[in-house]
Amino acid sequence: MAAATEPSLKTRRWRRVEYDRLVDLGIFVGERLELLDGLLVVKAPQGSPHAAIVGHVGQVLRSIFGEGWHTRLQAPLALDEESEPEPDGAVVAGGHRDYLSAHPATAALVVEVADSSLRLERRLKAGLYARARLQEYWIVNLVDGGLEVHREPQPQADSAYGWAYRSVEILRPPATVTPLAAPGVLIAVADLLP
């Protein structure tokens, strides 16, 4: 007797405009989702260290970026037609009210705080942010106690989404870092960690 063959599995990729419409209709109320390259990805629950450091990083970024910038915490970035991640922190041009009609499409700096999500942040999110040509992406690595600074996005065929950052530097205390968009500022890596 021949084994029955499984029908091929069909999936559907979502466009950002469709996702935004469902959000506006209240379909995902109470769910923590983000749209990554057409897929709805459930965000992991936040532990106390993660939530505390997200808030702290937000304070640090607000204190160093002057007029003309604002820091968004866990708010959407409309990167392209298939992606609307919600990074833990993003420094964007303008004021909050500049984005009443649409989420920002770019950021001067994107920050993710990573513990259980470290692999996702390094591989998938880094590829998405590089593909969107975001010049600087930081991972506050709670697992290893350091800051991963990703810069210089470039096409790379074997990377997630075909893009990667050419420069990845891992910094640990007592190192300092200077954001590309705030060249006169030095931030102690220790100030970004628990």
- pLDDT, residue 1, reads 52
Each residue's pLDDT tens digit in the chain (194 positions)? 555 566 777 878 999 999 999 999 999 998 999 999 999 999 988 999 999 999 999 999 999 998 899 999 999 999 999 999 999 999 999 999 999 999 999 999 999 999 999 999 999 999 999 999 999 999 999 999 999 999 999 999 999 899 999 999 999 999 999 999 999 999 999 999 99
Look at residue 3 in the predicted model and tell me its pLDDT: 56
| Rounded Cα–Cα distance for residues 20 and 18 (Å) | 5
Measured distance CA(117)–CA(43) in Å, rounded: 9
Rg of the chain, C-alpha, whole Å: 18
Residues 129 and 5: their CA atoms lie apart, in Å, by 39
pTM equals 0.92
Closest to 140 measured CA to CA, from 45, 75, 56: 56
Exposure string of 85-102, with b = 16+ CB inside 10 Å and e = fewer, is bbbbbbbbeeeeeebeee
Tokens of residue 92, six digits: 């964007």
SS3 state of residue 190: helix
The domains located in the chain, with CATH, are 47-192 (3.90.1570.10)
**b (16+ CB within 10 A) / e for 129-162:** bbbbebbbbbbbbbeeebbbbbbebeeeeebbbe
Give pLDDT, residue 11.
78
Q: Is 145 in contact with 171 (CB distance < 8 Å)?
A: no
